[in-house]
Protein backbone atom coordinates (compact mmCIF):
# COMPACT_ATOMS: atom_id res chain seq x y z
CA UNK A 1 0.00 0.00 0.00
CA UNK A 2 1.45 3.37 -0.96
CA UNK A 3 1.95 6.23 1.48
CA UNK A 4 -0.76 8.15 -0.38
CA UNK A 5 -3.23 5.27 -0.04
CA UNK A 6 -2.49 4.97 3.68
CA UNK A 7 -2.99 8.69 4.18
CA UNK A 8 -6.29 8.57 2.32
CA UNK A 9 -7.40 5.57 4.36
CA UNK A 10 -6.89 7.63 7.50
CA UNK A 11 -8.99 10.33 5.90
CA UNK A 12 -11.65 7.71 5.29
CA UNK A 13 -11.77 7.05 9.02
CA UNK A 14 -12.73 10.68 9.56
CA UNK A 15 -16.37 9.77 9.83
CA UNK A 16 -19.08 12.23 8.85
CA UNK A 17 -20.86 12.80 12.13
CA UNK A 18 -23.11 15.35 13.78
CA UNK A 19 -22.51 17.85 16.56
CA UNK A 20 -20.44 16.70 19.60
CA UNK A 21 -22.38 14.50 21.97
CA UNK A 22 -22.86 14.96 25.72
CA UNK A 23 -20.40 12.16 26.48
CA UNK A 24 -17.48 14.42 25.54
CA UNK A 25 -17.85 16.10 28.93
CA UNK A 26 -17.01 12.90 30.85
CA UNK A 27 -14.43 11.01 28.82
CA UNK A 28 -13.05 7.76 30.31
CA UNK A 29 -9.33 7.10 30.62
CA UNK A 30 -7.77 7.28 27.16
CA UNK A 31 -5.84 4.02 27.53
CA UNK A 32 -6.54 0.75 29.33
CA UNK A 33 -4.59 -2.51 29.06
CA UNK A 34 -1.02 -3.03 27.88
CA UNK A 35 -0.45 -1.57 24.42
CA UNK A 36 3.14 -2.83 24.35
CA UNK A 37 1.92 -6.41 24.78
CA UNK A 38 -0.12 -6.27 21.57
CA UNK A 39 2.36 -4.33 19.45
CA UNK A 40 2.73 -5.97 16.04
CA UNK A 41 5.53 -5.78 13.51
CA UNK A 42 4.41 -4.07 10.30
CA UNK A 43 6.31 -6.61 8.17
CA UNK A 44 7.78 -10.09 8.68
CA UNK A 45 11.41 -11.15 8.74
CA UNK A 46 12.13 -11.26 5.02
CA UNK A 47 15.46 -13.13 5.25
CA UNK A 48 15.50 -16.28 3.12
CA UNK A 49 16.84 -19.61 4.47
CA UNK A 50 20.18 -20.89 3.25
CA UNK A 51 19.81 -22.80 -0.04
CA UNK A 52 20.07 -26.61 0.13
CA UNK A 53 23.13 -28.41 -1.16
CA UNK A 54 23.18 -29.98 -4.62
CA UNK A 55 20.87 -33.01 -4.91
CA UNK A 56 21.99 -36.32 -6.39
CA UNK A 57 19.95 -37.98 -9.18
CA UNK A 58 18.69 -40.61 -6.72
CA UNK A 59 17.47 -37.91 -4.34
CA UNK A 60 15.74 -36.10 -7.18
CA UNK A 61 13.90 -39.32 -8.08
CA UNK A 62 12.46 -39.69 -4.58
CA UNK A 63 8.95 -38.51 -3.83
CA UNK A 64 8.99 -34.87 -2.73
CA UNK A 65 8.07 -33.96 0.81
CA UNK A 66 4.28 -33.56 0.89
CA UNK A 67 3.00 -30.02 1.15
CA UNK A 68 1.47 -29.22 4.55
CA UNK A 69 -2.30 -28.90 4.50
CA UNK A 70 -3.50 -25.32 4.44
CA UNK A 71 -6.72 -24.61 6.32
CA UNK A 72 -9.34 -22.69 4.34
CA UNK A 73 -9.81 -19.06 5.36
CA UNK A 74 -12.53 -18.37 7.91
CA UNK A 75 -15.94 -17.41 6.56
CA UNK A 76 -16.62 -13.68 6.41
CA UNK A 77 -18.06 -11.99 9.52
CA UNK A 78 -21.77 -11.20 9.41
CA UNK A 79 -22.61 -10.06 12.95
CA UNK A 80 -20.80 -8.47 15.88
CA UNK A 81 -21.90 -8.83 19.51
CA UNK A 82 -20.37 -6.87 22.41
CA UNK A 83 -22.52 -7.51 25.52
CA UNK A 84 -20.71 -5.00 27.74
CA UNK A 85 -21.77 -2.03 25.59
CA UNK A 86 -24.99 -3.43 24.15
CA UNK A 87 -23.78 -3.95 20.58
CA UNK A 88 -25.57 -6.47 18.37
CA UNK A 89 -24.89 -5.25 14.84
CA UNK A 90 -24.72 -6.58 11.31
CA UNK A 91 -21.31 -6.53 9.64
CA UNK A 92 -20.81 -5.53 6.01
CA UNK A 93 -17.67 -6.17 3.94
CA UNK A 94 -16.20 -2.83 2.84
CA UNK A 95 -13.27 -1.69 0.77
CA UNK A 96 -12.03 1.70 -0.39
CA UNK A 97 -13.97 4.67 -1.67
CA UNK A 98 -13.08 6.15 -5.08
CA UNK A 99 -10.87 8.68 -3.31
CA UNK A 100 -8.94 5.91 -1.50
CA UNK A 101 -10.62 6.30 1.88
CA UNK A 102 -11.96 3.27 3.77
CA UNK A 103 -15.67 2.72 3.28
CA UNK A 104 -17.99 2.89 6.29
CA UNK A 105 -21.62 1.65 6.10
CA UNK A 106 -24.00 4.57 5.64
CA UNK A 107 -26.32 3.03 8.25
CA UNK A 108 -24.55 3.95 11.49
CA UNK A 109 -26.01 0.91 13.23
CA UNK A 110 -23.97 -1.42 11.01
CA UNK A 111 -20.27 -2.24 11.17
CA UNK A 112 -17.77 -2.37 8.31
CA UNK A 113 -15.17 -5.13 7.99
CA UNK A 114 -12.16 -4.18 5.85
CA UNK A 115 -12.43 -7.03 3.34
CA UNK A 116 -9.15 -6.39 1.41
CA UNK A 117 -7.32 -6.92 4.69
CA UNK A 118 -7.33 -9.83 7.14
CA UNK A 119 -10.23 -12.22 7.72
CA UNK A 120 -11.66 -12.23 11.24
CA UNK A 121 -10.24 -15.43 12.74
CA UNK A 122 -7.22 -15.68 10.44
CA UNK A 123 -4.22 -17.33 12.16
CA UNK A 124 -2.08 -14.24 11.57
CA UNK A 125 -2.58 -10.50 11.29
CA UNK A 126 -5.14 -7.94 12.40
CA UNK A 127 -8.74 -7.90 11.19
CA UNK A 128 -10.24 -4.40 11.21
CA UNK A 129 -13.85 -3.49 12.03
CA UNK A 130 -14.92 0.14 11.91
CA UNK A 131 -18.14 1.95 12.71
CA UNK A 132 -19.69 5.32 13.43
CA UNK A 133 -19.86 6.89 16.87
CA UNK A 134 -22.92 9.05 16.08
CA UNK A 135 -24.65 11.15 13.45
CA UNK A 136 -26.75 14.30 13.45
CA UNK A 137 -29.43 12.55 11.40
CA UNK A 138 -29.29 8.99 12.77
CA UNK A 139 -28.32 9.47 16.42
CA UNK A 140 -25.97 7.16 18.33
CA UNK A 141 -23.92 4.76 16.22
CA UNK A 142 -23.09 1.12 16.93
CA UNK A 143 -19.71 2.13 18.39
CA UNK A 144 -21.01 5.04 20.50
CA UNK A 145 -19.78 3.40 23.73
CA UNK A 146 -16.62 1.80 22.31
CA UNK A 147 -14.57 4.33 24.30
CA UNK A 148 -15.81 2.76 27.58
CA UNK A 149 -14.69 -0.82 26.92
CA UNK A 150 -12.46 -2.40 29.55
CA UNK A 151 -9.74 -5.03 29.44
CA UNK A 152 -11.13 -8.58 29.51
CA UNK A 153 -14.57 -7.78 28.08
CA UNK A 154 -15.99 -10.16 25.49
CA UNK A 155 -16.41 -9.64 21.76
CA UNK A 156 -18.19 -12.30 19.67
CA UNK A 157 -18.13 -12.45 15.89
CA UNK A 158 -20.62 -14.60 14.00
CA UNK A 159 -19.42 -15.88 10.63
CA UNK A 160 -21.35 -16.67 7.46
CA UNK A 161 -21.00 -20.43 8.02
CA UNK A 162 -22.52 -20.22 11.51
CA UNK A 163 -19.24 -20.41 13.45
CA UNK A 164 -18.65 -17.86 16.21
CA UNK A 165 -15.16 -16.61 17.07
CA UNK A 166 -14.69 -15.37 20.63
CA UNK A 167 -12.38 -12.51 21.55
CA UNK A 168 -11.28 -10.66 24.68
CA UNK A 169 -10.28 -7.00 24.90
CA UNK A 170 -6.60 -6.58 25.73
CA UNK A 171 -6.28 -2.80 25.32
CA UNK A 172 -8.11 0.38 24.40
CA UNK A 173 -6.59 3.72 23.49
CA UNK A 174 -7.11 7.00 21.66
CA UNK A 175 -4.98 8.34 18.79
CA UNK A 176 -5.18 11.67 17.08
CA UNK A 177 -6.16 11.00 13.48
CA UNK A 178 -2.74 11.94 12.12
CA UNK A 179 -1.04 9.56 14.60
CA UNK A 180 -3.18 6.48 13.98
CA UNK A 181 -0.62 3.64 13.50
CA UNK A 182 -1.94 2.43 10.14
CA UNK A 183 1.01 0.08 9.49
CA UNK A 184 0.49 -1.68 12.83
CA UNK A 185 -3.30 -1.92 12.56
CA UNK A 186 -3.70 -2.85 8.88
CA UNK A 187 -1.14 -5.67 8.96
CA UNK A 188 -1.24 -9.28 7.78
CA UNK A 189 1.59 -10.26 10.09
CA UNK A 190 1.94 -11.04 13.78
CA UNK A 191 -0.41 -12.82 16.16
CA UNK A 192 -4.15 -12.95 15.36
CA UNK A 193 -5.85 -9.79 16.53
CA UNK A 194 -9.01 -7.76 16.12
CA UNK A 195 -9.06 -3.95 15.95
CA UNK A 196 -12.30 -2.01 16.42
CA UNK A 197 -12.14 1.65 15.34
CA UNK A 198 -14.43 4.65 15.70
CA UNK A 199 -14.18 8.40 16.21
CA UNK A 200 -13.64 10.21 19.49
CA UNK A 201 -12.23 13.28 21.18
CA UNK A 202 -13.27 16.86 20.48
CA UNK A 203 -15.47 17.74 17.53
CA UNK A 204 -14.02 20.08 14.89
CA UNK A 205 -16.92 22.16 13.57
CA UNK A 206 -14.87 23.43 10.65
CA UNK A 207 -13.90 19.94 9.42
CA UNK A 208 -17.22 18.45 10.57
CA UNK A 209 -15.45 15.50 12.20
CA UNK A 210 -13.98 14.34 15.49
CA UNK A 211 -10.27 14.90 16.05
CA UNK A 212 -9.35 11.44 17.36
CA UNK A 213 -9.85 7.73 16.76
CA UNK A 214 -10.75 5.30 19.53
CA UNK A 215 -9.20 1.85 18.95
CA UNK A 216 -10.00 -1.32 20.89
CA UNK A 217 -7.63 -4.27 20.45
CA UNK A 218 -8.77 -7.84 21.12
CA UNK A 219 -7.20 -11.27 20.95
CA UNK A 220 -8.89 -14.65 20.35
CA UNK A 221 -9.97 -16.53 23.47
CA UNK A 222 -7.30 -19.11 24.42
CA UNK A 223 -5.20 -17.85 21.51
CA UNK A 224 -7.28 -19.91 19.09
CA UNK A 225 -8.48 -18.83 15.66
CA UNK A 226 -11.23 -20.56 13.71
- The DSSP-derived string for 93-123 is EE-B-TTSPBP--SSTTSEEEETTSPPTT-S
Q: For the chain, what are the domain ranges?
A: 3-34+74-223
Specify the pairing of strand 77-82 against strand 139-140. Answer: unpaired
**Confidence (pLDDT) at 25:** 43
Query: 75 and 163 in contact (C-beta within 8 Å)?
Result: yes
| CA 162/CA 165 separation, integer angstroms | 10
| Res 45: pLDDT | 45
At 67 the pLDDT is: 67
Alpha carbons within 13 angstroms on the beta-carbon side of residue 124 total 9
The low-confidence residues of the chain, meaning pLDDT below 50, are 2-8, 10-11, 14-26, 45-53, 55, 59-60, 224
Residue 50's pLDDT is 44
Beta bridge partners of 134: 140
Q: Which one is the CATH code of 3-34+74-223: 3.40.50.2000, 2.40.260.10, 3.40.50.720, 3.40.50.920?
A: 2.40.260.10
CA distance 106 to 215: 20
Amino acid sequence: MTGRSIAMMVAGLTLLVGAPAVWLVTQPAETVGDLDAISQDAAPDTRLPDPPGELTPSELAEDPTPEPEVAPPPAEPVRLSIPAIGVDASVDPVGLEDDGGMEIPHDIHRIGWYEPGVEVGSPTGTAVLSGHVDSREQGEGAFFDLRTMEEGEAINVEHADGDVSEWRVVARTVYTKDELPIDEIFTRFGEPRLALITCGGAFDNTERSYEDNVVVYAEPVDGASI
